[in-house]
């Protein structure tokens, strides 16, 4: 079973009197355990593709399968359940809840999944340690640096043991050192846990680290390059 399958997927938006083909007849297959990047300039369709794959939006045409499920056949509730159980999201703007501590932001996923509270610390604390967040559990997002907030977002994305992590421009707000550290950690999670990672990015550092680069322009896939990972 593949992680992600797209067949002739389309998504069109209306802007004034014009139709914008944000995703234009895209077919794509990602195997389980891939570490891949959607590369392209702003407006190329990368984020729209991620939103379609993650079930945050629905296509106008074509078919999508995510973790073996045909998303077009799912109700909104079933799609929400798929996102909760099988997909982790890392957003460009972090999307942390400002009134919750770093620990509570991550814990929220386990609470939503119905994981018994007695298991929370054993699930969360090792992730915090692995991501260099030990000692920051009780800080609120406003008291964390951009790199630390992004690491909390990664912790939140993986704590529920997803099959797939989708990351939209994960290094956009980080300096080069924080970006390199974050990508190394994600690559390690990919290797150790077998999580499928799909990034959208125009950051050369992200593209260099990816094992596969899918180049997108004007809503279409223009190139698909598999290569050996860069250490």
Domain of 34, in residue numbers: 4-226
3-state secondary structure of 154: helix
CA terminus-to-terminus distance, the chain: 28
Asked if the model's pLDDT at residue 230 lies above 60, the reply is no
Which residues contact residue 15 at a Cβ distance below 8 angstroms, ignoring those fewer than 6 apart?
Answer: none
Asked if the model's pLDDT at residue 209 lies above 80, the reply is yes
Q: What is the pLDDT of residue 121?
A: 96
β-bridge mates for residue 26, sequence order = 9
Please provide the DSSP assignment of 42-69 as one string.
Answer: TTSSHHHHHHHHTTSS--SEEEEEETTE
Q: What is the pLDDT of residue 179?
A: 83
In a domain, 180, yes or no: yes
Asked if the model's pLDDT at residue 145 lies above 70, the reply is yes
In a domain, 74, yes or no: yes
Task: Please give the average per-residue pLDDT across 142-149, as a whole number.
Answer: 92
Asked if the model's pLDDT at residue 34 lies above 60, the reply is yes
pTM of the full structure: 0.90
Q: How high does pLDDT run on average in the chain?
A: 91
In a domain, 231, yes or no: no
Task: Please give the average per-residue pLDDT across 155-167, as a whole number.
Answer: 93
In a domain, 44, yes or no: yes
Q: How many domains does the chain have?
A: 1
Domain of 137: which CATH number? 3.40.50.300
Asked if the model's pLDDT at residue 122 lies above 90, the reply is yes
Q: What is the pLDDT of residue 177?
A: 83
Confidence of residue 229 (pLDDT cuts 50, 70, 90): low
Please give the Cα distance from 114 to 108 (Å, whole number): 10
β-bridge mates for residue 7, sequence order = 63
How do strand 69-70 and strand 220-226 relate by DSSP bridges?
Answer: unpaired
* DSSP H or E run through 22: strand 18-30
In a domain, 168, yes or no: yes
What percent of the chain has a predicted confidence (pLDDT) above 70? 98
């Amino acid at each position: 079973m593949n992680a992600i399958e797209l067949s002739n997927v389309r998504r069109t938006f209306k802007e004034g009197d014009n139709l914008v083909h944000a995703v234009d007849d895209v077919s794509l297959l990602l195997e389980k355990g891939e570490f891949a990047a959607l590369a392209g300039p702003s407006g190329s369709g990368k984020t729209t593709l991620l939103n379609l794959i993650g079930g945050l939006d629905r296509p106008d045409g074509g078919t999508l399968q995510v973790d073996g499920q045909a998303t077009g056949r799912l109700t909104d509730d079933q799609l929400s359940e798929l996102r909760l159980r099988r997909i982790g999201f890392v957003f460009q703007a972090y999307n942390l809840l400002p009134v919750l501590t770093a620990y509570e932001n991550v814990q929220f996923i386990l609470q939503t999944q119905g994981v018994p509270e007695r298991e929370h610390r054993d699930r969360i604390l090792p992730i915090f340690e692995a991501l260099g967040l030990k000692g920051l559990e009780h800080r609120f997002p406003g008291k964390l640096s951009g790199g630390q907030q992004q690491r909390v977002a990664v912790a939140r994305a993986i704590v529920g043991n997803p099959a797939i992590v989708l990351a939209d421009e994960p290094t956009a707000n980080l300096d080069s050192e924080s970006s390199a550290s974050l990508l190394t950690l994600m690559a390690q999670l990919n290797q150790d846990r077998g999580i499928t990672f799909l990034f959208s990015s125009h950051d050369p550092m992200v593209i260099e680290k990816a094992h596969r680069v899918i180049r997108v322009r004007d809503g279409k896939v223009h190139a698909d390059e598999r290569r050996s990972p860069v250490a």
